[in-house]
Amino acid sequence: MTQDLTLDEIRETLAEGIAANAAFDGWGDAARDMAADGAGIDRDVARLAFSGGAIEMIDAWFGAIDRRMAATLPPETLAAMKIRARITALVEARLAIVAPDRESLRRARAILALPQNVSRAARLGWRSVDLMWRMAGDTATDYNHYTKRTILLGVYAATMTVFLDDDSEGHADTRAFLARRIDGIMRFEKTKAAFTKRYEHRPSLSRFVGRLRYPAV
């Protein structure tokens, strides 16, 4: 029963309906109210659930995309792939999910680009790329954790920019663009791994100086 839903559950329930309406009505009251009517949820309750306005609606939609991506590519499916294929599949899954709502995405990105929303936009992007890397099996906790996500965030944002204006069949141009950028990520990771391996066993000057000052006893 919809009257028993929590506010978080209401946001999850309405997120995709709001996104579908946002293409025509923008990320505002009209899109939210129409989604609430379609789901049998009181408009005043829906307004309370999205008291933060458009940015909260967009946040909820991006969360819905994350959940659908995870459902589309369960762990057993990803486990059979190499890391490059996993990242590619995860980004392409997101493309397929948002494809029917490209105009809504365009409007959402315009809102997120406003100065007052830039930090929120960065957090939303980071949340998605962090999920993608974790689903791909990344367990890094050192600086690699941050470099991988920063690079993928740039790739994902650029890919979505291409996607919004891509009228090629099956979004082939976007997929080709993504493939080239994933190649770049893989080359960077290989170079970084080789560099780390080359220097990990070299003597540390700081440790040497420390031993001169504080010799072992």
pLDDT of 122: 96
Q: Where are the domains of the chain?
A: 1-51, 54-217
Fold type of domain 54-217: Tetracycline Repressor; domain 2 (1.10.357)
Contact criterion met (CB below 8 Å) for 133 and 161: no
pLDDT of 168: 95
Cβ-based neighbours of 145, under 8 Å, separated by 6 or more: 138
pLDDT of 86: 96
Residue 122 sits at φ, ψ, to 5 deg, of -65, -40
Contact criterion met (CB below 8 Å) for 177 and 157: no
pLDDT of 192: 60
Cβ-based neighbours of 100, under 8 Å, separated by 6 or more: 20
Q: CA 144, 150, 154, 160: dihedral to nearest 10 degrees?
A: 100
Which portions of the chain are predicted below pLDDT 50? 205, 208-209, 214, 216-217
